[in-house]
Structure 1
């Protein structure tokens, strides 16, 4: 099995997550993580985090900018804040982060080990080695600046780290999973794949074993000064000498690799419309049956159930369902008004429903969690036949309704009265 689970290329994007959104992201992210653990177990949660398309969709559904590099920092931060108070209960510990938080990862892992009885030195070593492989052994032009390490009480872990290429205004995210780990340096990646951007040095490839061995032997025999001198002699030398014919190399399997566009706006081509229509139809059909109490609440209607349908898909969907992460931004919008301002009234109701479902499930009353699963099942069944508005029309309507739904962005509250009739939030 492979340990490098995938990668993602993202445009660099500045700005900060405002507190009013960050608090909501932490609350919804934590409750969704807890639901996954309750339904599928901790190992499955780690596998989800290690999948680049799922990770991007998860970040979008909790309200972060759907396409940007900031989704990585924001998701790691939201999970660290949200799951921190539940670490002992769930047995999941989120360590590291961006900048100085990244450098503190080994110390945090040692603290986790002291509380849980894990081998802290081994975890800290794994953290350092994973970072070294993606920063030194694989030289692809991206300098690491974020390192998140999620570990469970039984010692299994996933790592999400991100590098920056300032010249190209691009970030690259790397996902690792401890499951099946055999070696950090002998092909831990199933592949290193992305847009062609020049020559990549990959000393972690199994085919580079002879090179690694030779480098160590050369260092021991000659020392660093002699190696530098010999390298200077070789620089530009060998003119007229025929290059050796390279031996044919076996093909490597491809990992999931996500490439996000530079444009901020959600465009129709970034969303699979039939999946959106399935969620809309399921919200209308299952809402009155499965969420009657919710729909009786003043000001709450099919719009909240639509958000719940998208949350349910992130909880239960198969990997192939996350090929269009932009679609999940249609649940709770984005801080920069792309695809539209965050509908805070809808967002708060989504959190309330999820918290209620989890609270009851822990007491043995799993009906509300089961209702979310049925909502997701129905959305998938209806995709083939459901019809609905175009993606552009849906987003335009959401923008018009934004004031009535508590629309808010980094630019402030949306003002004015909604000029469109439709279901309540």
Structure 2
């Protein structure tokens, strides 16, 4: 269930009516919420989530698939979460991220390499709003001198989605200071915390305290034979035939019942027939 806009926001209510017991429903709703927070705010790759779907069984096994759009280049990418493989919502939680374009500068705050930055972000919050404002001023001064952001990442000055935010919601920062989140997961879920707050805390942690950030794009798989509408490019029949031949071979070698194999092949040929 899910979709775009209002459809995705109706997910909690629909899960509550799906027949799960109260605790199971709570777990699936939480997975839906935190996955959206992570892919919108903790993984800053320039793609804004616009489609969110959650799948779950009667035993509350769940998966989430989200799609984000980069409005500058017109490309999209998908974020895949499978509940059974998630050990932490804020540490390498994805089962896969697929798209057609590798981004040169991505702030990945759920990477294992950014674990120290998560801890440092919590420490920065505990410094209080006044201290954070002074630290941000220091960061801005460094940005305008030879000691600029290129020392952090060579393409950071051209990647708008990882630049130092111009505006910070200081009311949120004050409330964070009062609450003192106990974990990075709790910080991400705090009402009002968005990409700008996450990025500001990360850059302060990096530029002031020397904590390492992960700027690598975590995209794991990229695949397309083209779109029927010509986006991102027209369908290549030759490439599609090669893909079908490869998938046929995979299905023939898969250890499943003959009826299951025949059904999978039927669906594969049906998909190919759409083009």
Q: Aligning the two structures, in what range does the TM-score lie when normalised by the shorter sequence?
A: 0.5 to 0.7
Distance 2:82 2:88 in 1: 12
Secondary structure at the aligned position of 1:179 is classed as: helix
How big is each residue's C-alpha offset from its partner over 1:28-77, in whole Å with a ceiling of 9 and x where there is no partner? xxxxxxxxxxxxxxxxxxxxxxxxxxxxxxxxxxxxxxxxxxxxxxxxxx
Alpha-carbon spacing, 1:171–1:254, altered in 2? closer, same or farther (3 Å): closer
State the shift of 1:122 in Å.
1.9
Q: Does 1:116 align with 2:86?
A: no
Secondary structure at the aligned position of 2:128 is classed as: helix
Q: Choose the corresponding residue for 2:82, options 177, 180, 184.
A: 177
Alpha-carbon spacing, 1:235–1:217, altered in 2? closer, same or farther (3 Å): same
Distance 2:27 2:132 in 1: 32
Tell me how large the CA RMSD over aligned residues is: 3.8
Contact 1:143 1:163 in 2 (8 A): yes
Alpha-carbon spacing, 1:274–1:132, altered in 2? closer, same or farther (3 Å): closer
Match of 2:241 in 1: 271
Contact 2:98 2:223 in 1 (8 A): no
Alpha-carbon spacing, 1:328–1:310, altered in 2? closer, same or farther (3 Å): farther
Distance 1:111 1:260 in 2: 39
Contact 2:79 2:94 in 1 (8 A): no
Secondary structure at the aligned position of 1:149 is classed as: strand
Contact 1:310 1:328 in 2 (8 A): no
Match of 1:7 in 2: none
Match of 1:204 in 2: 110
State the shift of 1:197 in Å.
2.5
The structure in which a higher percent of residues are helix is 1
State the shift of 1:311 in Å.
5.0
Distance 2:57 2:132 in 1: 43
Contact 2:67 2:78 in 1 (8 A): yes
Contact 2:225 2:239 in 1 (8 A): no
State the shift of 1:160 in Å.
1.0
Alpha-carbon spacing, 1:252–1:139, altered in 2? closer, same or farther (3 Å): closer
Contact 1:163 1:171 in 2 (8 A): yes
Contact 1:190 1:253 in 2 (8 A): no
The within-5 A match list for 1:84-123 is 95-112=1-18, 115-117=19-21, 118-123=23-28
- TM-score, length-scaled by structure 1: 0.40
Match of 1:213 in 2: 119
Secondary structure at the aligned position of 1:145 is classed as: strand
How big is each residue's C-alpha offset from its partner over 1:248-302, in whole Å with a ceiling of 9 and x where there is no partner? x9x99984433453224442233228839x89xxxxxxxxxxxxxxxxxxxxxxx
- Aligned residue-pair number: 196
Alpha-carbon spacing, 1:310–1:253, altered in 2? closer, same or farther (3 Å): farther
How big is each residue's C-alpha offset from its partner over 1:104-137, in whole Å with a ceiling of 9 and x where there is no partner? 112212222xx23252222211111111111111
Distance 1:157 1:237 in 2: 45
Contact 1:144 1:162 in 2 (8 A): yes
Higher-Rg member (1/2): 1
Q: Does 1:329 align with 2:235?
A: no
The within-5 A match list for 1:281-300 is none
State the shift of 1:228 in Å.
3.8
State the shift of 1:163 in Å.
0.8
Larger RCO (CA under 8 A, 6+ residues apart): 1
Secondary structure at the aligned position of 2:84 is classed as: coil
